[in-house]
Chain A
Amino acid sequence: MAKQILLKNIEVPGLASFGVYRQLGGYSAVEKALANYTPDQVTNEVTRSGLRGRGGAGFPAGMKWGFIDKKTENPRYFVCNFDESEPGTFKDRHIGQLNPHQLIEGMILGSYALGAKTSYIYIRGELFYVLRIIEKAIDEAYKNGFLGNNILGSGFSLDLYCQPGAGAYICGEETALLESLEGKRGNPRIKPPFPAVVGLYGCPTVVNNVETIAALPWIINNGGEAYAEIGIGNSKGTKLISACGHINKPGVYEIELGLPVEEFIYSDQYCGGIRNGNKLKAVVAGGSSVPILPANLILKTAAGETRFMSYESLSEGGFQTGTMLGSGGFIVMDETACIVKNLLTFAKFYHHESCGQCSPCREGTGWMEKILHRIESGHGTMKDIDLLVDISKHIEGNTICPLGDAAAWPVASAIRHFREEFEEHVKLQKCPF
């Protein structure tokens, strides 16, 4: 059984209440940090742990904290990115809904380390029922003296708010999130300046993913080094994977980074194999925006080595033969799945969610969706396939924020690995599935 850090007590009834969480050792990390650690020592533990951002980019959390501008006299802010809306990703909701106090404890630790006196959890509007759970938990934390003025007599004060968005994927991009949190239209900002220098209300800000923040209590309790012992290479610790698609046991699993992909798909402990004993066709390994890989390349790298669930191993081979760990939205497709139809679904999503600020993404996403719709409905031509590749190439890297890349990569990779299937759609003038 893999080490359980985030989901250890997740099945305990009533975990969302303060009493149960506290009984299981909750908030001991806050007690420990406020009594024994300076803010910088907390940051050092996180740096030592090798924890990487779990929102998708995998940027080292300690390093991100290190960038915050501490010289300014302006207040600093710590913000939790709970705008989880990538198709295939539903891990943060799991924590927020079942174990909100773990997230709050992490928020207190992060705010203490960064010197933030006000912090925000920005949650997507569709998760209103989770917002209610978190707000109740925040109230309990206030009542028990873990939030508010002079926490545990340490002199450190923190106000924590949970703010719902209006339901936009783009507000998961950290600068768009900050705009939205300020009450503006959620358009990503042009970087630089980065939020660590000019963030929320123009003040230094760190934005972290829910899962990243939820790992903080364990790291403080057990030490950064203990966390760094789990995992392989530069992929430390455990990761939540939300598995869905044509598998026997969809759900949220906590894995130690470095688990072989084959074991994750076929072991009864995790996905439990492909439904009806079907053949594995393709996997989107890290949420809809990462490149899709065919069965042979997801199980083994192009060089024939075993592929592991880790940042490095999944990206082995670059975009030609590799993919990314991303946010951990693991979408499995068996032989009955139509790649074109699946891609059309993704394209529709990105078209709908593009903020419309910069032209390549605004126009390109809609164009790709229309062409894919044409191919899927049997009216495509061979030229359309090349046109798709050309469009995706001109969106990628040319946009203000990564949404453009996220829309372009699935298209480019699907055609790279499954070109025959697109051609079959054109030849048959219909979807063969």
Chain B
Amino acid sequence: MPLLKVTIDNIEVEVEAGTTIMNAARKIGGSVVPPAMCYYSKLEGSGGKCRTCLVKVAKGSSKDTRPMPKLVASCRTLVQDGMVVENRTSPEVMENRRAITEFLLLNHPLDCPVCDQAGECHLQDLSYEHGLEETRTEEDRRTFEPVDIGELIKLHMNRCILCYRCVMVADQITDKRVHGVLGRGDHSEISTQIAKAVDNDFSGNMIDVCPVGALTDKTFRFKSRVWFTKPFDAHRGCTKCGGKTVLWMKGDEVLRVTGRKDKYGELEEFICNSCRFEHKETADWVIEGARNIERHSVISQNHYEKLDLPENAVEGK
């Protein structure tokens, strides 16, 4: 199969047929990669919902050189040979990304100071990079009371951006899904029907795929800010999952166990609840070494580096 040539922000890359623009951009890496709030490469059918990854296709393909009439979701649009894509270099794309960030924050409580996700939150990253510095809304936000959806997971619906990732995890990783999206529009919510508890060996992965602080680990809540903990790669012999995890330690204490996330915040492997919630002693684990977190969020405190923007990049906001 011949490779397809696609140009993203003036950088050329060759990919196999069937690759999305998003994954072609990830092959290039760096700042030409559009942000993704709902797309998750390990979950089938994810993406297309949050609209933060919209890009402009300036040239459809070498056969059909016309531009696409609307901005397209890069996570769900396949590349064509000779396609020319503008992400960082298009003022229209950057303007829209600002707007989408504003939409996502419209009903978000902005309670970062008391949110466990702060420091590793995709919405924080997104608004840091693309958001306005002031709010243009004076309306009341939609509010829900936080609820326990099961023994181990806390749901703060106020913070949810309805990316559907946790629904897909339950559908695709666990035996049975007992939660889903109820209602519609901005009043829809993630919920378990009739107070059913999420109780499954792999339910903890819902916490890891949540891009915001809507789903948090009840065994870690309010123990520490993430940037005061140190991440270490570790593994153990586990019969249920691969057992490859990250331990978030404070001194000798294991405060939290999560899966290993790549630079796009996606899990390399899903892990079981036993590894995540039940093994919190250093003796349970073989520690491999410190884990480097590449994302430019608060967790990499004091390591802010200026984004390496492509040529002709447009300033955001």
Contacts and interface: CB of A to CB of B under 8 A. Distances in A.
B51 A358 contact: yes
A356 B185 contact: yes
Interface string A355-375: 111111011111100110000
A361 to B, nearest CB: 8
B317 to A, nearest CB: 14
B185 A365 contact: yes
A193 to B, nearest CB: 11
Contact of B162 (A353, A362, A365, A370): A362
Given A352-B185, A356-B181, A387-B136, A364 B73 contact: no
A398 interface: yes
B186 A363 contact: yes
A429 to B, nearest CB: 16
A394 B92 CA distance: 10
B35 interface: no
A289 interface: no
A97 to B, nearest CB: 27
A398 B100 contact: yes
B149 interface: no
In this complex, the member of B48, B104, B107 whose beta carbon has the largest number of chain A beta carbons within 10 angstroms is B48
B21 to A, nearest CB: 14
A185 interface: yes
A356 B162 contact: yes
A398 B139 contact: no
Contacts of B181: 185, 356
B51 A360 contact: yes
A399 B48 CA distance: 9
A363 B99 contact: no
Interface in A6-26: none
A400 interface: yes
Contacts of B50: 358-359
A362 B70 CA distance: 19
B301 interface: no
Nearest to A355: B184
Interface in A36-93: none
Contact of B96 (A357, A370, A394): A394
Contacts of B103: 359-360, 362-364, 367, 394
A357 B183 CA distance: 11
B76 interface: yes
Interface string A227-268: 000000000000000000000000000000000000000000
A168 interface: yes
B186 A366 contact: yes
B49 A357 contact: yes
Contacts, number: 87
A170 B185 CA distance: 11
Most chain B beta-carbon neighbours within 10 Å: one of A351, A367, A371: A367
Interface residues of B, number: 32
Interface residue range, chain A:
20 to 34
A190 interface: yes
A397 interface: yes
A366 B185 CA distance: 8
B91 interface: no
A366 B139 CA distance: 10
A254 to B, nearest CB: 34
Interface string B56-86: 0000000000000011010010000000000
B51 A367 contact: no
B316 to A, nearest CB: 15
Contacts of B161: 359
A354 interface: yes
A363 B106 contact: yes
B51 A359 contact: yes
A11 B52 CA distance: 53
Contact of B184 (A168, A190, A358, A360): A168
Given A370-B139, A398-B100, A363 B48 contact: no
Interface string A322-348: 000000000000000000000000000
Given A360-B51, A360-B99, A363-B103, A170 B137 contact: no
Interface string A398-418: 111000000000000000000
B168 interface: no
B106 A356 contact: no
Contacts of B162: 356-357, 359, 362
B186 A354 contact: yes
Nearest to B73: A190
Contacts of A394: 96, 99-100, 103
B184 A353 contact: yes
B157 interface: no
B99 A354 contact: no
Interface string B266-282: 00000000000000000
A284 to B, nearest CB: 22
A353, A355, A387 interface centre (most CB from chain B within 10 Å)? A355
Interface of A: 168, 170, 185, 190, 351-360, 362-367, 370-371, 387, 394, 397-400
Given A359-B52, A370-B139, A398-B71, 4 more contacts: A354-B186, A366-B106, A366-B186, A394-B103
21 contacts: A168-B184, A190-B47, A354-B186, A355-B184, A355-B185, A356-B181, A356-B185, A359-B161, A360-B51, A360-B103, A362-B162, A362-B185, A362-B186, A362-B188, A363-B103, A363-B104, A363-B106, A366-B106, A366-B186, A367-B103, A398-B100
